[in-house]
């Protein structure tokens, strides 16, 4: 898996992450032609009426609890949960091997921008990797109007995979472009992650680790 680059358009106050250069204004990289994989069929997630999944991001700087919105983004939430639990096969971008190990365990937050986002979920740790498949967007009507919104990152339409981001404030310039997964609390932990020293392309010099993603139920 080569040539992938997951990024988000940035507000004017932040330096955008780009594959080659850093533009001075908010922008998205030109999307490559995408052939979405089948994703997952809208599944029976085993939730009783009124129940929801809660993804607990266990990081090296603390825990973040995210309530997942399976009603809005059923296929994307199902994929996120399956990858976290080790229930969906994916292709390791480092060695090309197919695996069902929990994808997020031991990955890093490879991109952090105070006031905007923290980004992770790349099994290669480089910001260019993914799970070897693409998800069809469920982003219609998505609104990024506050901190704590968890969503899939992408490099253009229908290219979401395993990479995700959590907003640290309103980011209305990306409305409708990214599939939301849910809403997170524990913003103090996310802010600590965002404030670690950074180098080029907003990559932490010592990236915080996502030790695991625990999937619970509530409701």
43-87 per-position pLDDT tens digit? 678 888 899 999 999 999 999 999 999 999 999 999 999 999 999
Spell out where 85-135 has E strands. 90-91, 98-99, 107-108, 111-113, 117-120
> Structural domain boundaries of the chain?
60-218
Q: Is 56 helix (H, G, I), strand (E, B) or coil?
A: strand
Q: How confident is the model at residue 18 (pLDDT cuts 50, 70, 90)?
A: very low
Collapsing DSSP to helix, strand or coil, 134 comes out as coil
Beta bridge partners of 54: 67, 216
Question: Of 119, 115, 141, whose CA–CA distance to 204 is shortest?
Answer: 119
User: Which residues make beta-bridge pairs with 164?
Assistant: 120, 152
Reduced to 3 states (helix: H, G, I; strand: E, B; else coil), residue 158 is coil
According to CATH, the topology of domain 60-218 is: Cyclophilin (2.40.100)
Q: Which residue has the higher pLDDT, 32 or 165?
A: 165
Q: Is the pLDDT score of 23 beyond 80?
A: no
3-state secondary structure of 114: coil
Binning pLDDT at 50, 70 and 90, where does residue 42 land?
low
Does residue 214 surpass a pLDDT of 60? yes
Measured CA to CA in angstroms, residue 210 lies from 108, 134, 214, 217 at distances of 5, 22, 11, 20
């Amino acid at each position: 898996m080569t040539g992938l680059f997951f990024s988000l358009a940035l507000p004017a106050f932040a330096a955008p992450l780009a594959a080659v250069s850093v533009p001075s204004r908010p922008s998205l990289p030109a999307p490559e032609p995408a052939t979405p994989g089948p994703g997952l069929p809208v599944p029976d997630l085993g939730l009783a009426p009124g129940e929801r999944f809660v993804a607990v991001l266990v990081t090296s700087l603390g825990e973040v609890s995210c309530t997942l919105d399976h009603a809005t983004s059923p296929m994307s939430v199902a994929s996120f949960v399956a990858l976290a639990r080790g229930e969906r096969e994916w292709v390791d971008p480092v060695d090309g091997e197919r695996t069902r190990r929990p994808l997020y365990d031991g990955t890093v937050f490879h991109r952090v921008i105070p006031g905007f986002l923290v980004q992770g979920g790349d099994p290669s740790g480089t910001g260019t990797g993914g799970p070897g498949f693409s998800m069809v967007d469920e982003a219609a009507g998505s609104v990024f109007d506050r901190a704590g919104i968890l969503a899939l990152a992408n490099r253009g339409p229908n290219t979401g995979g395993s990479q995700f981001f959590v907003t640290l404030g309103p980011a209305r310039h990306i409305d409708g472009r990214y599939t939301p997964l849910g809403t997170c609390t524990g913003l103090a932990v996310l802010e600590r992650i965002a404030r670690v020293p950074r180098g080029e392309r907003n990559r932490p010099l010592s990236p915080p680790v996502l030790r695991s993603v625990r999937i619970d139920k509530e409701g």
